[in-house]
């Protein structure tokens, strides 16, 4: 799985997730100033910690969406559930066949 290496500017609530929880970026703290933004972009681009966190998150997500991964498995369960609902609706709403 290839990493995109794209700089993202989440605003404002996601900024806190990116900075504090995922540790893959910096929290802008609701500041919208060109000088602050320039400083934070430089800081993010030079941060080994952010790079390492982003790489680890990317690897985990790759495992999760791969065949047999947790996200792939749950997606298949969701599709099966929707198919079951559709079949039930087509049979007049009775899930027991009666």
Q: What share of the chain is helix, strand, coil (3-state, %, to 5)?
A: 60, 0, 40
pLDDT tens-digit profile of 48-89? Answer: 998 898 899 889 999 999 999 999 999 999 999 999 998 888
Q: What is the pLDDT of residue 6?
A: 59
More confident residue, 92 or 11: 92
Give the whole-angstrom CA distance, residue 72 versus residue 69. Answer: 5
What is the percentage of the chain residues whose pLDDT exceeds 90? 29
Give the whole-angstrom CA distance, residue 27 versus residue 6. Answer: 17
pLDDT tens-digit profile of 6-51? Answer: 556 566 667 777 777 777 777 777 777 888 888 888 888 888 998 8
* Structural domain boundaries in the chain: 13-66
3-state secondary structure at position 77:
helix
Overall residue count recorded for the chain in this entry? 98
Q: Note the helical H segments in 1-98.
A: 13-16, 34-46, 48-65, 70-90
């Amino acid at each position: 799985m290839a990493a995109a290496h794209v700089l993202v500017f989440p605003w404002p609530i996601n900024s806190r997730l990116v900075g504090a929880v995922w540790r893959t970026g910096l929290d802008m703290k609701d500041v919208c100033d060109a000088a602050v933004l320039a400083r934070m972009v430089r800081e993010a681009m030079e941060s080994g910690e952010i790079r390492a966190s982003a790489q680890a998150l990317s690897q985990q997500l790759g495992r999760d969406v791969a065949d047999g991964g947790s996200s792939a498995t749950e997606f298949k369960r969701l599709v099966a559930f929707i198919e079951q609902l559709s079949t039930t609706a087509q049979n007049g709403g009775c899930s027991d066949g009666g």
